[in-house]
Amino acid sequence: MTDIMDQLLNHPLGRGVLLGGVLVGLMMGVGAFSTYLERKFAGRIQNRLGPTIVGPFGLFQVIADGIKMLRKEIIIPRAADPVLFLLAPIVAVTLTLASAAVIPFAEGMEPVVTSVGLLWLLAFSGLLVFPVWWAGWASNNKYALFGSMRAVAQGVSYEIPLVMAALVPVILAGSLDFGAIVAAQKGGAWFIWSNPVGAIAFIIFFLASLAEANRIPFDIPEAESELIAGPSVEYTGILWGMFPLAEYIHTFIASAVASLMFFGGWLGPGPDGLHWMALKTGALYLAVYWLRWSLVRFRSDQLMRFCWHWLVPISLALIVIATLWVHAGFGGSA
Amino acid sequence: MDATWGSALVFLLLAFIAAAGGIITNYILRVRAKQELESKYTTYECGEEPEGDAWIQFHPRYYVVALVFVVFDAEAAFLFPWALNIRELGSFAVIEMFVFLGVLFFGWLYAWKKGALRWQ
């Protein structure tokens, strides 16, 4: 049995189908479950109960919502561009899932084995600006257009600190491969505290990821109170559902990547393995909700100023310090 | 290397199927309205008839930021291969990249002073 498994995992197509299937399923599951988790968590924060009626602890709410959404009629407005309108949510989910292909949730368990894992991830999450823009443009609705315009400005701006903060662990580990980045953090030397820049780089990376995923406090493109949900205003049923789904998955992936790059991934005190990765990712993911339900929304110009006046120069400085640190021989040899 | 892109292709396909699966499931399960109303297909604008297309020209504000973005993103593309090899390349590469980063820093300063990074 294990022989067959090994052979399958060593074959590129077998690996893609097997691990890829598991990962895609996991991501879709996480995305669906997040709707429940967020409502429950938000409820607790606001001293409410959240969903309680459907099933034990309201757990079947996910299924009920899913069926409701799947059965709703898809309406394409007369004024809209039908092709782009349909394509945008599908591409958004596809790209989000695709960016997860290189994430190892346990040692050597990534569906796509490559030495440029981080680059793959950044490339695919960078492309996510396009479907959001398509959605806003194809809707032929002014709210949607303004929303996606904001999303593009914000996504493009926060791409810079995101990439530069991600460079810090790359410099420290001397590799773009998540496996090697985690291996460089062995012995409790997690990048968040093994060097002077890790903690700040983590904060910048995490904030920029939130901005890319349009989470509060960076959810200006959606801004339901002023732009009536921005790019997704004309969407109905499951087509609409794909935007929040992509957003949840994107946030989850960002949490996973942050725990790989700064918190040692599957390494931990005691036995290494999947449980540590799950714990770290879960904790970061919940921290995102915590932020979302505690903070208010930025204003558009504040958001841009925060990025260009603070995050960009700070992340430039981080790269310089990290380089000097490694060059002085503190980082060990790769 | 071939091995990698084989599984990458399969993964992309799976991701697309997962995404498009939603539409297909909807097609099978959907509830159809008994009568078609023309108003259902109008653009949503809080009950008002929208005035003209949304495909208009308007001031996008941060358009200079897009240019600055291209500069910084190209820089990031240069930084990645360099960051991988700092240990092997030695002091010369470090100094050279610092000069490059310095030029960028002054570029950023210039853009700031010119007001390119501000709401105008």
**DSSP letters spanning B5-70:** HHHHHHHHHHHHHHHHHHHHHHHHHPPPPSS--GGGGSPPSTTSPP-S-S------STHHHHHHHH
Q: What is the pLDDT along chain A (334 residues), one digit of tens a residue?
A: 577 777 777 777 777 777 888 888 888 888 888 888 888 888 888 888 888 888 788 888 888 888 888 888 888 888 888 898 888 999 999 999 988 888 888 777 777 778 888 888 988 888 888 888 888 888 888 788 888 888 888 888 888 899 999 999 988 888 888 888 888 888 778 888 888 888 899 999 998 888 877 766 566 666 565 666 677 878 888 888 888 888 889 899 999 999 988 888 888 787 877 888 889 999 999 888 888 888 877 777 788 888 888 888 899 899 889 888 888 877 665 4
> DSSP assignment, residue A186?
-
Instruction: Report the b/e string of A281-311 with b at 16+ CB within 10 A.
Output: bbebbeebbebbeeeebbebeebbebbbeeb
- The SS3 call for residue A209 is helix
Rounded-to-integer distance, Cα A238 and Cα B94, Å: 51
Q: Between helices A142-173 and A129-139, what is the axis angle to 10°? A: 180
Supply φ then ψ for residue A332, to 5 degrees: 75, 175
Closest residue in A to B28 (Cα) is: A71
Distance from CA of B19 to the nearest CA of A (A): 5
* pLDDT over threshold 70, residue B88: yes
In the prediction, which pLDDT does A205 show?
92
How many Å separate Cα A87 from the centre of its chain? 21
Rounded-to-integer distance, Cα A78 and Cα B119, Å: 35
Closest residue in B to A308 (Cα) is: B117
Which residues does chain A have within 8 Å of residue B43's beta carbon, measured at their own beta carbons? 77-80, 139-141, 234
Which residues does chain B have within 8 Å of residue A312's beta carbon, measured at their own beta carbons? 72, 108
Tokens standing for residue A4? 């067959």
CA-to-CA separations, A232 to A34, A155, B113, in angstroms, rounded: 19, 16, 36
* pLDDT over threshold 60, residue B1: no
- Asked if residues A166 and B75 have their Cβ atoms less than 8 Å apart, the reply is no
Are B105 and A313 in contact (CB < 8 Å)? Answer: yes
Rounded-to-integer distance, Cα A212 and Cα A221, Å: 11
Distance from CA of A289 to the nearest CA of B (A): 25
Rounded-to-integer distance, Cα A289 and Cα A7, Å: 41
In the prediction, which pLDDT does A1 show?
54
Whether ipTM tops 0.90, in short, is no
* pLDDT over threshold 70, residue B110: yes
In the prediction, which pLDDT does A221 show?
63
* pLDDT over threshold 60, residue B2: no
In the prediction, which pLDDT does B76 show?
84
In the prediction, which pLDDT does B61 show?
65
Tokens standing for residue A321? 């310090």
How many Cβ atoms sit within 10 Å of the Cβ of residue A5?
11
In the prediction, which pLDDT does A222 show?
62
Rounded-to-integer distance, Cα A320 and Cα A288, Å: 29
In the prediction, which pLDDT does A240 show?
87
Entry field: residues in chain A: 334
In the prediction, which pLDDT does B62 show?
67
In the prediction, which pLDDT does A283 show?
92
Non-local (6+) Cβ contacts of A321 within 8 A are: A196, A197
In the prediction, which pLDDT does B71 show?
83
In the prediction, which pLDDT does A129 show?
86
Domain B2-113 belongs to what architecture?
A: Up-down Bundle (1.20)
Are B43 and A97 in contact (CB < 8 Å)? Answer: no
Averaged pLDDT score across all residues of chain B: 80
In the prediction, which pLDDT does B3 show?
57
Non-local (6+) Cβ contacts of B108 within 8 A are: A308, A312, A313, A316, B68, B72
**For chain B, domain boundaries:** 2-113
Are B7 and A79 in contact (CB < 8 Å)? Answer: no
